[in-house]
Amino acid sequence: MSDATLPAPALHRGPRPPARSWRRHSGLIAGAGILAIILLSSIFANWISPYGPLEQNLRNTLQPPGWTHPFGTDNFGRDIFTRVLHAAKLDLMIGFLCVFFPWMLGIALGGIAGYFGGIADTIIMRIVDTFSAFPFLIMVIGIIAILGPGLTSLYIALTLAGWSMYARIVRAEVLVVRQSEYVLAARALGFGHLRIMFRHILPNVITPTIIFAMTDIVLVILSTTSLSFLGLGVQPPAAEWGIMISEGRGFILTAWWMVTLPGLAIVLVGLALSLFGDGVAKWLRERG
């Protein structure tokens, strides 16, 4: 073979370099960034703000936003900005926990229903159907009606109203995964049920629940603030966004900042969580 027959190098365009990942995941990064700022500000609230959340100053009530009080003061002279920061801690924690508990409960029950089938499945799914028949907020209010208003009631009510959706999702996924080859192989090898559930099935069914949890957390935070606004959730004088807005209700004629500004915090957190949640969902879907 002589060199003369070697073909001339072809002019071809190589594979394109991967698009910059962070531009594709801009939503996730932006959302995470905003959340980080909010979270850090709330944790370091005492360093950021010279006032305490419950610190009253009756000579300084109902001040509009200004240099000394960026969000103004309320009817007790408390600095609203400080209270907003401290409320972030409380509301974000409730939001997280009241998604985490239903998530765990739902995965456990949904997993059992899907994996073992039979009578366990029937019983659990009947319960899920019953719980799902009631609209979310109505059920939460109903449970609080039984238990009486308060923070504990709020946790219990939100958990009981929220777990059924996770159970449904997990059960559906488990039913599919249960038939897959690696699970059948594991059972053929004689692995115990618990081991199969935790090491083989669980990692593969978790993704849809996380995607759902991201939208759920916004719903939970909105519900929490609504219930506290109504006086059915977190109780005053705690610093909580819903409570602050409720207290501001009596003063809309004179002090609009008591209502509008804490609400903006809710909207900001909601948007950030939506951005972050959508970004996580996209990332998880691309991972496959």
Partner 1 sequence: MNTPTFLRRRLLQVLPVLAGILLVVFLVVRLIPGDPARIMLGIHASEERLANLRTELGLDLPIWQQFGVFVGNIFQGELGTSLFYRRDVTDVILERLPVTVTLVGFSVLLSVLVCVPLAVAAAMRQGSWVDQAVRAISTLTLSMPGFWLGLNLLILFAVVYPFFPISGFGRGFWDILWHLTLPAITITLSLAPILIRTLRASLIEILQAPHVEFARTKGLSERHLIQRHVLRNGLMATLTILGVNIGWLMGGSVVIETVFSLPGLGALIVSSIAARDYPMIQGIALIFGLLVITINLVTDLLYAALDPRVTYE
Q: Is 75 in the site for partner 1 (CB under 8 A)?
A: no
According to CB under 8 A, which residues from 204 to 223 bind partner 1?
Answer: 218, 222
End-to-end Cα, the chain, rounded Å = 48
Nearest to 107 by CA among 204, 215, 219: 204
Q: What is the spatial distance between Cα 66 and Cα 248, in angstroms, rounded to a whole number?
A: 18
Interface pick for partner 1 out of 33, 64, 231, 250 (rule CB under 8 A): 231
Run of H or E residues at 266: helix 257-287
Residue closer to partner 1 (CB basis): 29 or 271: 271
Q: What is the spatial distance between Cα 97 and Cα 222, in angstroms, rounded to a whole number?
A: 14
3-state secondary structure 76-125: CCCEHHHHHHHHHHHHHHHHHHHHHHHHHHHHHHHHHHHHHCHHHHHHHH
Interface pick for partner 1 out of 138, 176, 185, 210 (rule CB under 8 A): 138
Q: What is the spatial distance between Cα 168 and Cα 129, in angstroms, rounded to a whole number?
A: 9
Q: Is 243 in the site for partner 1 (CB under 8 A)?
A: no
Residue closer to partner 1 (CB basis): 79 or 247: 247
Q: Is 157 in the site for partner 1 (CB under 8 A)?
A: no
Q: Is 226 in the site for partner 1 (CB under 8 A)?
A: yes
Interface pick for partner 1 out of 134, 155, 191, 283 (rule CB under 8 A): 134
Residue closer to partner 1 (CB basis): 66 or 231: 231
Residue closer to partner 1 (CB basis): 117 or 149: 149
Q: Is 45 in the site for partner 1 (CB under 8 A)?
A: no
